[in-house]
Amino acid sequence: MKVTVQELETLISNKLIKAGLNEEHANVVTDVLVHADARGYHSHGAMRVEYYAERIAKGGINNDPAIQFEKTGPSTALFEGDNGVGHYMAKKAMEEAVAVAKENGVAVVGVKNISHSGALSYFVEQAADEGLVGLSMCQSDPMVVPFGGAEPYYGTNPIAFAAPSSSGKKVIFDMATTVQAWGKVLHARSKNEEIPDDWAVDENGEPTTDPFNVKALVPIAGPKGYGLMMMVDILSGLLLGLESGNKVTSMYEDLTEHRKLGQLHLVINPEFFTSAEIFKENITNTMNELNQVKPRAGFDRVSYPGQRSEERAEKSEHIEIVDDVYEYLTSEAVHHNKYDHKDPFAK
């Protein structure tokens, strides 16, 4: 099903407001979700709306949070989200981080007590739009076997990075520290498609291609991904005084409860290290040089990180979403009680 960007924005925002979210917060969530869908990150787009709506309606997201921003040093700060909707809190925290980095060169802002915040690429792009370098990472619920393990301990614990260029284009990557994000498995389920055999394992710890048999995801590059997901968990959890590892709350365990998740934004102002203009020119040169690298068989070109998704977004007058998601968005239902106390791996 293809819909216009404007129609999708209206449908998502209306559904979130109907669930109980205030309009300002709903519009930010909508912006982040459409950002993801327009770039082809459907696992973090409109398919998430019903889950959010159910959690909002059941009180698991604070619809009237008392937001606080406290500078703890010249370049460090804590942003208290009071368990409000994560997308809005992460965006506001990044705005504060950008302001600190512009003044002091670097900003490290911990974002405490929020819900799921969606595609991290949205937030690092905020920094790049201001001529700064952005890095963001966050916790997620335990769904990944540690390297050598047979049961989940860490989450997919994603990392995103963005840098500006003189051309106006941006280098952006947004990656889970697993071979694939859980949302990709959900997307495969929604389309009844098989998954590659290196994404996940079944109840016996064996690789599976059936998205409905997944019982855990696996780290990217084995012990290397395992180390990265531990780093993310420490910096966005333990460093902020929050729960970590297998104590991080599940998306589905109890939708009436606040999740109390953590996120970390790190923003760097190039002007404090080199000429900002030269830095951006060098990024542009790097982009062009990567595009000129001889592609291997089966590839039309070498793209710099984020190039294809950015080009997709620029052409996105219409966005394709699965029929079931469209039917839900256009229905009168706030939600269908699908996610509360659900085994995250359940069929």
Active site residues: 116
List the 133-138 sheet strands across, edge first: 68-71, 76-84, 106-114, 261-268, 133-138, 159-164, 170-175
Could you give phi then psi for residue 266, rounded to 5 degrees? -125, 125
The Cα–Cα gap between 214 and 232 comes to 23
Two structure tokens written together for 70: 């406290």
Integer distance in angstroms from the first to the last C-alpha of the chain? 23
Whether 322 contacts 3, CB under 8 Å: no
Distance of CA 11 to the CA centre of its chain: 21
**Cα–Cα–Cα angle for 19, 22, 27, rounded to 5 degrees:** 95
Question: Among all chains, which residue has been given the structure tokens 């490290």?
Answer: 108
Question: Among all chains, which residue has been given the structure tokens 């968005």?
Answer: 329
| Residue 299 CA: distances (Å) to CA of 39, 115, 293 | 20, 38, 11
Alpha helices by DSSP H, listed for 22-171, are 23-38, 49-57, 86-104, 121-129
